[in-house]
A and B are shown apart, each in its own frame.
Chain A
Amino acid sequence: MDLIQLFLAYAKTGIKTRFQYHMDSFLLSFAVFFREASSIFGVYFLLLKFDTLGDWNIKEIFFMFSIISATYSLFIMFFMVFRDFPDWIKHGDFDRILLRPRGIFVQMLLNGADWVAALSHGAISVLMFIVSANSVGIRWNATNILYYIVTIISGTVIQGAIFVFFSAFNFYFSKNHGIKEFVFWKSRRFATFPLSIYGRVVQNILMFVIPFAFVNYFPAQYLLRKSDMAAYPAYYMYLSPVIAVVSFTIAYLFWRFSLRYYQS
C-alpha cells in the first residue's frame, strides 16, 4: 500500500514534469511512435515480397511484435533508471537515492519512468495487438489469457534483468554505453523476427545469453503453434517465468554485490 502511494507520488511529479513542455512531449511521443512504426513498415514491405518468413505470416509477426512492445512499454515504466544509469551516477542522482530512507532498488524501480516513451510503445503494442490478435487463430479462453498475462510480466522482468545486470558495470567503469547499445538495442531488433530464421550462434545467444527468445518467440509459439517449434524442446514454451525469475535473481545479486564499489 505504502509502495503504491510512493509510486503514485513519483508518477504524479513525473507526468507533471513531462507535461510542463506540452509541445516537446507531444512531438517526442510522435517521434517514438513513428520510429517504431517505421520498423513495422519495414517488416510489412518485406513480407509483401515473400509472403511468409520461415512459415510465419505477417499477422503472426505483428502479434510477436505486440508482445515486444507491450513488455518494453512496461519495462520503461519500471526500469528506466537502469537504462540511464550512467547519467544517474554522473549527475549525482544516485547519491540522492542513497540519502533517502527507502530501499535503494525499490526507489529505482518506482522512480523515473519515461512516461512519454512508455505511452508511445504502449500505443504501438495495443495497435499491433488489435490488428493481429483475432486473425492468427488464438482462442482467447481463460488459460490463454492467463498465459498471455504471465508472458507480458515475464518479458518485462527478463528485459529488466538484462538492464539491471549491465547497469551494475557502471559501478566499476563510469561508461559502458557501448556494451548496452550492442546487447540490448540490437538484440531487441533481432527479436522482431522468428528465432528460427537465424543461424545457430545467434539463436543460442538469444536463448541463453540475452534471453530475448523467451520474451516473445517461445510464448508466441505456445499461442500460435508454428511448425518451426519442432526444432526446440517443447518445454521451452513454458520456461519464460522461470527464465525471468532466474535471470532477475542473478542480475539483482550481481547489482547488490557491485554496489559496494560505488565511488560516487
Chain B
Amino acid sequence: MKRLQLARDADFETWRGLARAALAEGIAPDQIEWMSPDAAQADLFSSEPEAQEREAPTAPCATPVGHVSKPGLALLHTILRYHDPQRFALAYRLLWRLQTEPALLAIATDPDMREAARMTQQIRRDMHKMKAFVRFREATQPDSDGRRHFIAWFEPENYILESVAPFFAERFSDMDWMILTPIGSILFEKGKLICDRSPCAAPDLKDDVETLWHSYYQSIFNPARIKTKAMRSEMPTKYWKNLPETRLIPQMLADAENRVAAMVARQNDGRAPAFHERHQAEWREKEAQEEARGVALNGLPALSRALESCQRCDLCRYATQSVPGIGPDHAPLMLVGEQPGDQEDLQGKPFVGPAGQVLDRVLSAVGIERSEVYLTNAVKHFKFVSKGRRRIHQTPGRTEIVACSPWLDQEIRLVQPKLIVTLGATALQAVEGRVSRLGALRGHVRDGSATRPPSLATIHPSYLLRLPEPLRAQEEEQRFMQELSAARDWLAEH
C-alpha cells in the first residue's frame, strides 16, 4: 500500500504531480491511500516511527504521463475543487480507468462517474450560490478618481474562488472590491484581479443602503402565499448567517396570517377615491368619441371596423386579429384567397406571408398591378393548431366559411368588381356557395349571377410552396400565370 500525502486544500497542479508519479509506476488505485491530515494529525503522524521508516515521500512528476481526453481533463480539474479530500482518490481512480476505458465519461450510471457528477453538481451549485449570495458593503469614501470600495464576506464550501473570480471582475469592473472568505480572498483593484488562498477573518462593516434593501425584501413578500419549503430548498439555511435579510424572516412569517386576515376583512366598501370618477368620465367620453367615429364611417372602412369585433365563429378566440381585404374601392379585379396565415394574422394585412410573395411575383410577371387589385380572403381569421412554438395552418371548415360569408358578400357588393378570381378550393366554395371540384372548373371565366360578377377559379399560391418537386412546381407556376393572364385579358376586353 502506497501512502500519498496532500494538504487538504491542495489544488489540481499539486495533485497532478503525485498522480503522474503514481501512474508512471503503474500503481493501481486500490494500492494507494491518499492522506490529507489536519495540521494536528500531521504531527501525530510524523511522530510515528514506523511511518517515517517505511518510505521516502513520493516526488511529484512534472512531465505528462498517460493520456486523458480534453473533457476528461476538465472533469478532473472540476472535482479537484471539491472540499472533501476523498476527491484525490476519486480523481486518481478516474485517471487510472480512463487509460483503459475511453468510453467511461459517457457512462453516467457508473459508480465513479456518478460520484464525480455529484461533486461537480455541488461545486456548480456552490459557485452559483456564491454569485447569488455575496453581499457587498461599501467600505470607505471613494478614491480621488471616483472609484468606490466594497467588501464582502462569504463562506464557500468548495475551492471555487479562482473559478468565480472572473464573474465578479466582469460584473463589478467599475469599482474596487474584496471578497473575503475562510479559505482565501479575491481582490479587485483598479482593474487588477488577485486571488489568494490565505484564510481571512470576517470584517465588521455597516452599510445604510442595506436598510432600504430590507424594506424591499419585506414589501415584495406576499403574506398570502407561504411556501417556506420552496424558499429553503433554494436558499438553504446554511447560507443565512451571511444574508442579513434572512433575519427578518421569522417576523415576516409571524405577521403573515394577521396581514392576510386584515386584507380579507377590509374589502372595498364601494366608495372610491375622488379621481376614480374623473377617470371613469374620461373613459366614457373616449368611448363615446370612438363610437361616433365608427358611426361616421361608411363603405369599406366601416366594414373593416365592424369586422374587428366579429365573433361569428370560434376562430376569434385565439387569432390575433381579423384581417380585412385591402385595395381600391372599385377595383375591377378582386382576388379571394383562403384565410390569413401566420404573418397575415400578426400584421393584419392579407397576402404578406410566403404565399403572398409568390402571388406578388406572379402578378408582376403577368403585368397586374397589385395596388389596383382588391385582395381579400374567404375567412377573415387565422385557423391554426398550436404545435409547440409554431402555429400550423388548418383549412377552414364549412362552418367557418359559412359564418364568414356575409363579410365577403358585403365586400363584393361594395367593391363591385368586374371579375373575381378565386384562389384555391376554399375561395371557390365561399364565392360560389357550393363544393365544386377545382380541377374541373379552373382556368376560364364563368358567368356570374344576379348577386355576383363573373369569376375565374385557380389555385392558391401556397399550393406552389407545398410541391416538393421543383420541376412540377415550375409547371404549376406557369399554369397559374396563364390563368391569371386569362383574367387580365378578359378584363381588357370587358
Q: Real complex partners, A and B?
A: no
Which of A's residues lie within 8 Å of B, judged by CB?
A: none
